[in-house]
């Protein structure tokens, strides 16, 4: 029996901050015929608003330390303005969309991150994705737009990494769908030389990745994203693609980006 296709796309802050780039991406996303879920990051707006309110911001290993006041800001910005702006953009293109965060419908349950020697505040690590909730909305032919805020089921909201949310949604939904996971970011794909777009690696398998990592021939910032990609593949996701979100159509046809595979 052939499984129905599902596309899970994650876009980062850079495209969220780029009005023209986001508009172009949404046009391509809206045209896609299959079931689809868009997970978005937060961009610079949360930091700018926090700073304007004199709320100090601290980042560790690229992740925001989320204290009580910062949690209020990121929830308002991510699950509020950015999420609804994307939904409105899709609606204007004739793409019926629903936007929410992990607290809605108990869609993504998480727990407060605990790491020895470091308090991330109200940062969350995911425990469960509510497959029934997502499937019920997808069956209504809605494009789903997910903000990177989750909850613990005990009245606590949690700020959760958007890459991780996309991976966990893709993994959970792979039991019911043939899932393609796309990580959209600012480069054309995985590069041997981060400064040279022509050094694109079109296909990447585990052994090749391990060799590049050990020989330090791969940009350090890409390693967590790639490790997430291989984890997703190992847990049922059909394929993972990394590349520029603006080139979404070319990513899906293999004309652009890096395709992560087992072989």
Q: Among candidates 143, 142, 150, which has minimal Cα distance to 126? A: 150
Q: What is the DSSP letter of 118?
A: B
Domain boundaries, the chain: 5-260
Q: What's residue 247's pLDDT? A: 92
Give the DSSP per-residue string, 192-239: SSTT-GGGB-SEE-HHHHHHHHHTT-S-GGGHHHHHHHHHHHHTT-SE
What CATH class is the domain 5-260? Answer: alpha beta
Residue by residue, pLDDT tens for the chain (263 residues) are: 678 999 999 998 889 999 999 999 999 999 999 899 999 998 788 888 988 998 888 877 667 789 999 999 999 999 999 999 999 999 999 999 999 999 999 999 999 988 767 888 999 999 999 999 999 999 999 999 999 999 999 999 999 999 999 999 999 999 999 999 999 988 888 888 777 888 889 999 888 888 888 888 787 777 877 888 888 898 999 999 999 999 999 999 989 999 998 76
CB 108 within 8 A of CB 160: yes
Q: Name the phi and psi angles at 21, rounded to 5.
A: -65, -40
pTM: 0.93
Q: What does the alpha-carbon distance between residue 104 and residue 108 come to, in Å, rounded to a whole number?
A: 8
CB 97 within 8 A of CB 142: yes
pLDDT at 76: 96
């Amino acid at each position: 029996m052939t499984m129905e296709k599902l596309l899970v796309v994650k876009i980062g802050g850079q495209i969220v901050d780029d009005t023209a780039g986001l508009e172009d991406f949404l046009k391509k996303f809206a045209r896609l015929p299959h079931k689809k879920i868009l997970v978005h990051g937060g961009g610079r707006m949360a930091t700018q608003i926090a700073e304007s309110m004199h709320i100090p911001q601290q980042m560790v290993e690229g992740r925001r330390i989320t204290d009580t006041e910062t949690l209020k800001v990121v929830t308002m910005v991510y699950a509020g303005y950015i999420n609804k702006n994307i939904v409105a953009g899709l609606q204007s293109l004739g793409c019926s969309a629903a936007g929410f965060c992990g607290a809605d419908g108990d869609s993504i349950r998480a727990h407060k991150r605990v790491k020895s020697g470091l308090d991330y505040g109200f940062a969350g690590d995911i425990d469960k994705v509510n497959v029934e909730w997502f499937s019920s909305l997808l069956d209504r032919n809605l494009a789903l737009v997910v903000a990177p805020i989750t909850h613990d089921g005990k009245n606590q909201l949690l700020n959760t990494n958007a890459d991780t949310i996309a991976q966990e949604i893709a993994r959970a939904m792979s039991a019911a769908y043939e899932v393609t996971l796309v990580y959209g970011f600012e480069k054309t794909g995985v590069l041997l030389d981060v400064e040279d777009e022509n050094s694109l690696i079109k296909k990447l398998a585990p052994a090749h990745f391990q060799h590049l990592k050990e020989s330090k021939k791969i940009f350090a910032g890409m390693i967590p994203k790639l490790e997430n990609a291989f984890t997703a593949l190992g847990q049922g996701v059909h394929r993972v693609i990394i590349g520029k979100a603006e080139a979404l159509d070319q990513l899906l046809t293999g004309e652009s980006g890096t395709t992560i595979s087992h072989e």
